[in-house]
Every structure is written in C-alpha cells, then in structure tokens.
Amino acid sequence: MALLLGAHLSVARGLAACARQAASIGATTFAYFTRNPRGGSARALDEAALEAMARVRAEAGIGTVVAHAPYTYNLCSAKEDVRAFARRSMREDLERLELVGDVVYNLHPGSHTGLGTERGVELVAEGIREACEPGQRTTVLLETMAGKGSEVGSTFEELARIVELVGDAASIGVCLDTCHVSDAGYPVARSVEDVLDEFDRVVGLDLLRALHLNDSMNPPGSRRDRHERIGAGELGLNCFVAVVTNPRLAGLPMVLETPNEPEGWAREIALLRRLAGEG
C-alpha cells in the first residue's frame, strides 16, 4: 500500500488550492487548520469549493485529510469561558467537516491550568461529548502531547482514559506525533516497535488513525515540544525508516509539521518515499 504522506499546509486560498499545493509537492494527504490557529471565524464552505476540492483530491490520489483544530481550543482550562469557546468552536468545525468527506479532526486535548490531570481528563471527555453530534462521520483524534506545562495527553494512559470517558458519544481515535511522544519520554528513537506495543497495550492500535512525522530538537523526556526536520534531530533517520516501513502503520495518513517550506516538505516526502522503497 502506497504511503499517505503530506504536510500541514496553509488554507488561506481555500481548500481546493490547498489540495493542489499538496499534489504539487508529491503529497497524498495534507493537514490544514479549520480556522485561524489563533481562533476566530472560519471560512465559509460553499458547494462549488467542496466540489473543486473533491476533484483535485480524486485527480491527485489524495486520501484521508487531517483537519487540525486551532491551538487556542482548551477543553480543560480552569476558565469556563475558555472551555465554552472550545466546545462551541469544535461543534462548528465538526458540522462543517461532515461536508468535506474522508477527513479526520485532530485536537490537542488541552492544558488543565492548575485543575490537575484527573480533572483535566474528565473535562476533555465532557467537551468532546458535548461538541459531537450522534451519528457524525468525522472521527475526533486526540494528539499525543509532549507534556510541557500542564498539558493533558502526554501519556497513553491519559489518552485511554479520555477515550473511555467519551464512550460511544463520538467516533474517537489518536494521532501519534513522533516528536511529542519522544519528548514525553517514550523511546521511539530506540524502538518504534516497543512504543507501538505499549500503545496497543494501553490504548489499542485500532484507535491509531494518523501520525505527525516530526524529528525533535530535544532529547527524549525533555517535555519541551520543539520540532526538527526529518533526520536532523534527536530521533534520526532510522526512526523514520521504522515508521514508514512498519506494516502496522500502513494506510494511515502521515503528516509533516517540520520547520520547513513547501519545497522542503517536497524533499522530505521524496526522502520518506525512498526510505519506504517507493522511489
């Protein structure tokens, strides 16, 4: 199965233009922010724009797309108005994504800002349950976090507990970020297999629905969250060889969030395809 490789691209010129740029850099998936990453209103989706995006995706062989919630959403903030904003904005995002098709919704669980991890986990689950509608097609993905500050979701146990508390109120999964899991202390640079085994034991590999491919500027366990270009950081090329050739990850969208520009992402995508034996 060919890799679903791409990068997080700007959607400033619309979804169809975003898909065209993805195709131009050799991508078969891409990620985009559902609205300005600082929050604010979302661009209107009209039928013509959706049809144009669908045409580009079909022509370029672009598979599952990853819509990314803005960083400003915090479902477990100590401030009720911040939590309410996140729930309301998520609900709007998910309503719009039902129109896009073959898309997953990536979410940073948030930071508990002093409430404690246990309460933070509960609030994240409550927020997801409230934001989702019965029967929606779009799966919400909890991103694995690096653990800086009071972030929730830096351990597989925390993610598994959120999934448990959400229950059947929403379709839910996980997006594994290679930089984040390393910075959180998981030895992904040493053994991708060991980390996947641990994830499977705690969360379940059936819930792993996407990956962010990022090297890290910091050593394992730093809890600092600083992305680096593929092969230029602490994880090294061998880690990414183990990811792109792993049969347990086949078919999952893999998105670059490395500090790069489109030309750089094109080179990284080509590199990863070569490492996987695709070219």
- The number of CA neighbours under 13 Å toward the Cβ of 54 is 11
Q: Report helix, strand or coil for 218.
A: coil
Whether 142 contacts 175, CB under 8 Å:
yes
What is the C-alpha to C-alpha distance for residues 148 and 222, in angstroms, rounded to an integer?
9
What is the secondary structure of 175-199 as a DSSP string? EEEHHHHHHTT--TTT-HHHHHHHH
Q: How far apart are CA 206 and CA 200, in angstroms?
A: 8
- Nearest-5° angle of CA 224, CA 128, CA 252? 65
- Alpha carbons 188 and 194: distance in angstroms, whole number: 8
CB-based contact 94:87 (threshold 8 Å): no
Catalytic residue annotation: 38, 68, 71, 108, 143, 177, 180, 212, 225, 227, 257
Give burial (CB, 10 Å; 0-12/13-18/19+) of 235: buried
In the structure encoding, which two tokens stand for residue 141, read together? 């993905």
Q: Are strands 4-7 and 208-213 parallel, antiparallel or unpaired?
A: unpaired
What is the distance between the terminal CA atoms of the chain, rounded to a whole angstrom?
13
Secondary structure percentages of the chain, helix, strand, coil, to 5: 40, 15, 40
